[in-house]
């Protein structure tokens, strides 16, 4: 597994432990629980994908974008305005 794949597995496990329903975008079902984390959620054109988009009671409330330790968040912050 690549380091990115390992990070996704770890992130998913932490989300599940915290009580989130974790789903792939292709299988999205926001009614699965009060808190749903959707993997690889497409952002607006030109902004790529969020590692996870978090929904509470069907409303998007947060974005998880995993980065290597020491990485800056320059270029990531605009994604909060990029949900389709």
pLDDT in tens, 35-66: 999 999 998 887 788 899 999 999 999 998 87
- Residue 76 in this model has a pLDDT that exceeds 70: no
Q: Which domain holds residue 31?
A: 3-81
pLDDT at position 40 is: 93
- In terms of phi and psi (left: phi > 0; alpha: psi -120 to 50; beta: otherwise), the region of 75 is left
User: What share of the chain in percent tops pLDDT 90?
Assistant: 52
| All residues at 6 or more sequence positions from 14 whose CB lies less than 8 Å from its CB, including other chains | none
- The structural domain count of the chain equals 1
């Amino acid at each position: 597994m690549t380091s990115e794949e390992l990070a996704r597995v770890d992130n998913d496990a932490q989300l599940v432990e915290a009580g989130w329903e974790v789903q792939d975008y292709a299988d999205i079902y926001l009614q699965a629980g009060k808190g749903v984390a959707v993997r690889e959620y497409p952002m607006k054109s030109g902004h790529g994908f969020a590692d996870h988009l978090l929904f509470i009671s069907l409303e998007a409330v947060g974005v998880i974008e995993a980065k290597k330790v020491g990485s800056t968040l320059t270029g990531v912050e605009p994604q909060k305005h990029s949900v389709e």
